[in-house]
Chain A
Amino acid sequence: MAEVTLKGIKKAYGPVTVIPHFDLDIQDHEFMVLVGPSGCGKSTALRMIAGLEEITGGTIEIGGRVVNDVPPKDRDIAMVFQSYALYPHMTVRENMEFGLKIRKTPREEMNRRVNEAAQILGITEFLDRKPKQLSGGQRQRVALGRAIVRKPAVFLFDEPLSNLDAKLRVQTRAEISKLQKTLKTTTVYVTHDQIEAMTMGDRIAVMKTGELQQVGSPLEVYDRPSNLFVAGFIGTPPMNFIPATVTTGGDAVAASGFTLPVPAASRAATAQRTGQKVVLGIRPENIREAPRDPGDAAVPITVKVEFVEPLGHEVIVHGRVGDDLLVAKVEPHRAPKMGEEVRLVIEVEASHLFDTATEKRLGDN
């Protein structure tokens, strides 16, 4: 068990800097998810923790020990790769034993650990098979098994679910979460899938082009995204961004089709911005038929429906208010038709304002 600390990490390949400066504290027992679009440096960050990539600057500590120059095998970590990286010429059992054998674990102890892990993961019956005789999901489990038999201080996952089909992914997602809660091993999990990030992480770290955008619990990141990128990245469908102007007095913003009172959290910031342009961010789930709670502040709007996506449990409505396109989530059984005009409301306190230039959220964070 160990905490992982990254201080001022820098990574450059020759003249190309991919991670300019990266700080992250991962607590003991924590499930930390690094999430971001491809090429944001999240895998590089993970590989630096693993010791598979050298760091250009800064320090990495695992369990209070600086590991900058410690080879991967001595970092007390285990890693699950996107491709699983099972040794194809070895059976499942040999795959799981490999790391233990090299560390000269006694035979009995080795058998005990492998059998235990196989039981937890439900792969006991495959122990004598070769990886090529297994399905994708089973291989994934073997890769997990190979990591847990080692009982490392830190688990590293590099997009382990990307190769699974949608249904298996949801199932395995839950299993990995459950496993981590049982084993309480500090975990760093890299994914580009924000749903994985939201559902699995104790905290999530959102990255973009090598820079950390925000670190926080899933709800913090969802409720108070620190900037436009995080706001747009977390949540499906993504948040609506509407250009707006702060009205006289700074207590409301005007878009092309409606005027919205400034949410309480942003009021201090808009007070001196009369006449300035801002970006109004509203999640589709906060544009509804009626406010969630009748007492909540809500602004009625009229949406001209352009396109409807029924998902069964909800309906996604693409429409227009004034000059602006909006996406809203509505009840499935009152789905509007294309071309119709529907009356919806925007929940004031759930909306966000962002600075046009800095793209930072105006408000309390």
Chain B
Amino acid sequence: MSSNRSRRGDEPVHWPLHLFVIFILILTIYPILWVLAIAFSGSQSLAIADLPAHATALDRLRAIAPWPKHFSAENFRSVFADQPFARWLLNSVVVAAMTTLLGVFLACTSAYAFSRFRFPARRAGLMAFLVSQMFPGTLMLIPLYIIIVKWLGLGSTFTGLVLIYTVTAIPFCVWMMKGYFDTIPKELEESALIDGASQATIFFRIVLPLAKPAVAVTALFSFMTAWNEFIQAATLMDRVDKYTVPVGLRFFVGGFTQQWGYFAAGSIVAAIPVMALFLFLQKYLVSGLTAGAVKG
């Protein structure tokens, strides 16, 4: 049927498009393949193959192909056994989970207020959130250090880091959630109000379940903010046992050591939780949950 159609010429030929997509795909996954190759090479070198003095074309090709000489899980074993990587991973999980919980809770509640209630300085508050996003994070490094370490005495603590990540993530999350709350029909809440629901019941039993897609995105964003952040963590955490994963990874290739194998293995392990979270939240990242509420 389809071959008939293409022979008739009323459908464009697909293979150039496929070639193009394959090319882009290789371009995209090539760096990731390199990381994988280094991680499984069992060595600490950035290069997988050494180029001989008189390299043939095949040697050169081998040097750029992300395929290690030997496969070994030694780097993975070693980051956990010989290095405090498990500890850092745990630290990151604690910080990111706390940031997600606190961030999502604060973002949901404040976004609902911004969406539904009219109060003085509502617009100013929303604008302030937006304006705060204009400044790069590094600009906040010194003021945050002064506030967290000097004033609050929370240097090298998870609480300090969670506080920073939460307030960094909140503006985006609030805007995101507010945008979603705005699309939930007001009649639903009025109907619940007449049904006898309190404001809290309406929020937790009607609005929040309908806002699941937005909550999922917000949670993912908060988690990733905390999980990937390096500069603040590096500044705030001055004890090795308090490092988060990004700071710990940097430790492998900082100063006198060049342990790229550990670095690659560690970054692959670090990527797994985010990927898992993505897959888990995927089913909520669908829109159209409000379909059927009101005639559309």
Contact = CB atoms under 8 A, between A and B. Distances in A.
A103 interface: yes
A79 B194 contact: yes
B182 interface: no
17 contacts: A50-B194, A52-B190, A72-B194, A73-B197, A78-B194, A79-B191, A83-B294, A84-B295, A86-B293, A88-B291, A89-B289, A98-B197, A99-B194, A102-B197, A130-B292, A136-B295, A139-B292
Interface string B252-296: 000000000000000000000000000000000000011111110
Given A83-B185, A85-B188, A102 B196 contact: yes
Nearest to A86: B293
Nearest to A89: B209
Highest count of chain B CB atoms <10 Å: which of A99, A130, A133, A150: A99
A77 interface: yes
Interface in B184-212: 185, 187-188, 190-197, 201, 206, 209-210
A52 B192 CA distance: 11
A126 interface: no
Interface in B156-203: 185, 187-188, 190-197, 201
A131 interface: yes
Interface string A335-351: 00000000000000000
Nearest to B184: A88
Nearest to B293: A88
Nearest to B197: A102
A98 B201 CA distance: 11
B295 A87 contact: no
A131 B290 CA distance: 10
B194 A77 contact: yes
A88 B196 contact: no
A330 to B, nearest CB: 39
Given A83-B185, A87-B188, A102-B201, A73 B194 contact: yes
A88 B194 contact: no
A138 B192 CA distance: 20
B277 to A, nearest CB: 23
Contacts of B290: 88
A177 interface: no
B293 A85 contact: yes
A88 B210 CA distance: 8
Interface in B59-106: none
Given A86-B292, A88-B289, A99 B196 contact: yes
Nearest to A150: B195
A252 to B, nearest CB: 53
Highest count of chain A CB atoms <10 Å: which of B190, B196, B210, B291: B196
A84 B294 contact: yes
Contacts of B187: 81, 83, 85
Contacts of A136: 295
B191 A85 contact: yes
Contacts of A134: 292
B210 A89 contact: yes
Given A88-B290, A131-B293, A52 B193 contact: yes
Nearest to B212: A89
Contacts of B292: 86, 88, 130-134, 139
Nearest to B209: A89
Contacts of B190: 50, 52, 72, 79, 81, 85
Highest count of chain B CB atoms <10 Å: which of A86, A87, A132: A87
Nearest to A79: B194
A163 interface: yes
Highest count of chain A CB atoms <10 Å: which of B188, B191, B197, B295: B191
B295 A99 contact: no
B194 A83 contact: no
A85 B294 contact: yes
A223 to B, nearest CB: 36
Given A81-B190, A88-B293, 13 more contacts: A50-B190, A72-B193, A73-B193, A79-B194, A81-B294, A85-B188, A87-B206, A99-B195, A131-B292, A132-B291, A133-B292, A139-B292, A146-B191
Nearest to B186: A85
Contacts of A133: 292
A60 B295 CA distance: 31
A72 B293 CA distance: 21
A85 B197 contact: no
B78 to A, nearest CB: 49
**Closest 4 interchain pairs by CB?**
A132-B292, A83-B294, A99-B195, A85-B187
Interface in A17-57: 50-52
A49 to B, nearest CB: 11
Contacts of A72: 190, 193-194
Contacts of B196: 73, 99, 102-103
Nearest to B201: A102
B287 to A, nearest CB: 13
A103 B206 CA distance: 16
Interface string A299-310: 000000000000
A85 B185 contact: yes
Interface string A99-128: 100110000000000000000000000000
A71 B192 CA distance: 12
Contacts of A163: 295
Nearest to A98: B195
A133 B292 CA distance: 8
A79 B193 CA distance: 10
A157 to B, nearest CB: 12
Interface in B23-58: none
A81 B191 contact: yes
B192 A98 contact: yes
A110 to B, nearest CB: 13
B92 to A, nearest CB: 33
Interface string A315-345: 0000000000000000000000000000000
